Amino acid sequence: MKVLHVSALDMGGAATAAIRLHKGLLKAGIDSAFLTLRNCNRNIPNKYIYEPRPEEISLLKVLKKTLRVRLGMESPHSFYDAQDLAIKGEPTGAGFSFPETLEDITLHPAYKSAHLIHLHWVAGWLDYPSFFAKNTKPVVWTLHDLNPFSGGLHYALGTSITEMQMGHLIDNPQDRLQQAHNRNLTVKQQSLQDFRSLAVVSPSVWLQKQSAESLLFSRYENHHIPNGLDTELFKPYDRSVVRGLLGLADKKTLLFIADAIDSPLKGFRFFRDALLHVQNMCDYQLLVVGLDKSNALAGFNNVHHMGYVQDERLMAMIYNAADAFVLPSLMDNFPNTMLESIACGTPVIAFPTGGIPEAIRHGENGLICEKADAANLGSLLEAFYRGQWQFDREHIAEQAAKTYEDRTITTAYRKVYHAVMATV
């Protein structure tokens, strides 16, 4: 069996999950390759970069385009400009992706040599109509957000579309966003109507349920397989030694991580406000990982900003240096950072978002707020520092290793691969 993982990005949370599975399959003796648009992460074996073929331009094409525009049959704007105009001025929250692109993954040699195609985060790259019309290979699709089965949104937060509407057509659409949603979902439905050999995998039960009830994926097998990680790397280390290596003081340490610290989805503003509850009661320091382009950390005198960290060994040290990892995400599926933290034995203090409560058991390996707001988070931080909960780091790490160790996850995916290949 030769598996091709298709991921638009080679960095970030979705890409990290895909890369870890890819490497796990290679360790298990499975012929696995990785196709991506990016070339940022060079630590990926059997990696291929997709390079689109330049479109041939002829005088005849130019004349046809000009005539269609003058007759009002076609927009004068480019393909992607026309898509942007369809939702111009509408709030799109964490982003909006259309199901049509100018790319054709099936032309790449890595696609042609594969026996099974494993899609990951492919928004803005996968062209639904052409891919599912041309593709003859079985497909496994791991969901990292709601976009694959939605009308374009990745998450509903901050938009005119509710989370419950995302996987379904909206009756009487009221604005351009809802109209584009219905139009795109219809395109996806038509593209998949004759395709049978597809299995859908969700890292969280939360996302699996939404996928299984969606218009697009309800007729396919929907599996739940959590993200995995290398528990020989992410494990407990001596905290005092790690703090010394990182140049940190030996005092209470809170950790916050986000690709972009000011991302509205990651909830840093709630964390900032919640710190008001503890700033006068204890001597603490903040350990922050991520880009701070908007200077969100200004005003903190007790912050150690590590910047963007890609090295996993350094990340394992960072988790071990913290007393708790604070995860106030407003929208999330099943974040790798959460698993990395508990694999290192560091408890997680989080909002009750997406699949997070599935992994974080209140009082055992972390704390879950009753509601996603600064007041609830501040109360938990205060109680945490007063010693209301005592966490056993070794026990937290042992339980995480049993559940999320990469070999366990790889075995689960191999079962799905064999099942979907039998449908061809």
pLDDT at residue number 215: 97
298 shares its domain with 334: yes
pLDDT at residue number 152: 97
Name every residue whose Cβ is closer than 8 Å to that of residue 66 and which is 6 or more positions away in sequence. none
Average pLDDT over the chain, rounded to whole?
Answer: 93
Structural domain span for residue 294: 239-404
DSSP string spanning 177-204? HHHHHHHHHHHHHHHHTT---EEEEESS
207 shares its domain with 321: no
* pLDDT for 422 beyond 60: yes
- In angstroms, rounded to a whole number, what is the distance separating the alpha carbons of residues 151 and 149? 7
Tell me whether residue 194 is in a domain: yes
142 shares its domain with 269: no
For residues 257 and 290, the answer to whether their CB atoms sit within 8 Å is: yes
* pLDDT for 327 beyond 80: yes
Q: Which of the two residues, 41 and 261, has the higher pLDDT score? A: 261
pLDDT at residue number 80: 85
Q: Which of the two residues, 74 and 188, has the higher pLDDT score? A: 188
pTM of the entire predicted model: 0.93
- Looking up residue 415, the CATH number of its domain turns out to be 3.40.50.2000
156 shares its domain with 272: no
Tell me whether residue 22 is in a domain: yes
pLDDT at residue number 109: 96
Question: In this structure, is the dihedral angle defined by the CA atoms of residues 313, 314, 320 and 324, taken in order, positive or negative?
Answer: negative
pLDDT at residue number 135: 97
Q: Which of 29-43, 77-91, 166-180 has the lowest mean pLDDT?
A: 77-91
87 shares its domain with 153: yes
* pLDDT for 242 beyond 60: yes
pLDDT at residue number 68: 64
* pLDDT for 69 beyond 90: no
Tell me whether residue 276 is in a domain: yes
pLDDT at residue number 78: 79
pLDDT at residue number 204: 98
- Pull the structure tokens for residue 357: 């409560």
The 10s digit of each residue's pLDDT in 361-418 is: 999 999 999 999 999 999 999 999 989 999 999 999 999 999 999 999 999 999 999 9
pLDDT at residue number 270: 95
Rg (CA), the chain: 23
The pLDDT-based confidence of 75 (bands split at 50, 70, 90) is: low
pLDDT at residue number 77: 65
411 shares its domain with 392: no
Tell me whether residue 233 is in a domain: no
The whole-number average pLDDT for the span 311-331 is 97
The percent of residues in the chain predicted with pLDDT above 70, rounded, is: 94
Q: Pairing relation of β-strands 303-305 and 47-49?
A: unpaired
The whole-number average pLDDT for the span 238-256 is 95
Q: Which of the two residues, 5 and 81, has the higher pLDDT score? A: 5
The percent of residues in the chain predicted with pLDDT above 90, rounded, is: 83
270 shares its domain with 208: no
Tell me whether residue 61 is in a domain: yes
pLDDT at residue number 276: 83
Question: In this structure, is the dihedral angle defined by the CA atoms of residues 154, 217, 111 and 99, taken in order, positive or negative?
Answer: negative
pLDDT at residue number 333: 94
- In angstroms, rounded to a whole number, what is the distance separating the alpha carbons of residues 291 and 78? 32
Tell me whether residue 139 is in a domain: yes
Name every residue whose Cβ is closer than 8 Å to that of residue 22 and which is 6 or more positions away in sequence. 5, 32, 33, 34, 44, 45, 46
* pLDDT for 67 beyond 80: no
The pLDDT-based confidence of 27 (bands split at 50, 70, 90) is: very high
215 shares its domain with 305: no
246 shares its domain with 224: no
pLDDT at residue number 29: 96
How many domains does the chain fold into?
2
Q: Which of the two residues, 217 and 75, has the higher pLDDT score? A: 217
171 shares its domain with 267: no
